[in-house]
Amino acid sequence: MIEKNAPNTTCRTSSEEDTLRLGRLLGRLLVPGMTVLLYGDLGTGKTVLVRGVGEALGATRVRSPSFTLVNEYRTSRAELVHADLYRLEPGGVEELSLEEYLSNGCVLFVEWPERWDAPPRDEVLKIEITAEGETGRKFSFSPSGVGADRILERLKAEMKEMENS
| pTM reported for the whole predicted model | 0.90
DSSP class of 33: T
Three-class SS state of 114? helix
Question: Using CA atoms, how far apart are residues 156 and 147, in angstroms rounded to an integer?
Answer: 14
Give me the pLDDT at residue 164, please. Answer: 66
pLDDT at 2: 41
* E strands in 6-154: 8-13, 35-39, 70-73, 80-84, 107-111, 124-132, 136-144
pLDDT on residue 4? 45
Phi-psi map region of 90: left, alpha, beta (phi>0 left; psi -120 to 50 alpha): alpha
Instruction: Indicate left, alpha or beta for 33 from its phi (over 0: left) and psi (-120 to 50: alpha).
Output: left
Domain boundaries of the chain, sorted by first residue = 2-164
Residue 94's SS3 state is helix
The CATH classification number of 2-164 equals: 3.40.50.300
pLDDT in tens, the chain (165 residues): 444 444 568 899 999 999 999 999 999 999 999 999 999 999 999 999 999 999 999 998 898 877 789 999 998 888 999 999 998 876 788 888 888 888 888 999 999 999 888 888 889 999 999 999 999 999 999 999 999 999 999 998 888 777 765
Task: Count the alpha carbons within 13 Å of 1 in the hemisphere toward its beta carbon.
Answer: 8
In the chain, the largest separation of any two C-alpha atoms, in whole Å, equals 47
DSSP H or E stretch at residue 4: strand 2-5
